[in-house]
Amino acid sequence: MSIADFAALIVAIAVVVTAVFLVTAVNNLNNTLAKLEDTANQLRDEGLGAFRELRQLIADADAELDKVDLVLDRADHATTVISETTRRTHEAVQDPVIRTLALASGTSRVARTWLLPGAKERRARRQPS
């Protein structure tokens, strides 16, 4: 065996070892890639499920907000009606009550003057001249 044959044998062994190493590395990379693909599929499935749940939660919240808006609109309308009713009641009652109190006051003065003897003189004494 000559030096050239020996060198060719060394090179052949190195190529075989390198080929085995590369095949093993490619096989490991292929397995890792398959695991990554499975993980990506699981994440996609879970993500889609989470987005579906999120959409449902948003739809439910939107429906609840519509209900709250309706309640607030009705409360605003009720407040307006109550305020208007209070204002009209005040206007309707205020003038007759004032007139009735004035009439009662005047009537009591007349009654005291006419019915009580000496009330006129007592009143005159109380007022400063």
pLDDT in tens, 89-101: 888 777 777 778 8
pLDDT reported for residue 119: 59
Q: Are 20 and 13 in contact (CB under 8 A)?
A: no
Q: What is the DSSP secondary-structure string of 23-38?
A: HHHHHHHHHHHHHHHH
- List own/partner pairs for 9-13 with CB under 8 A and 24 or more apart: none
Q: Given this model, what pLDDT does residue 96 score?
A: 78
Amino acid identity at 72: L
Residue spans per domain, the chain: 3-126
Contact 80, 73 (CB under 8 A): no
Q: Is the pTM of this model over 0.75?
A: no
Q: Are 123 and 116 in contact (CB under 8 A)?
A: no
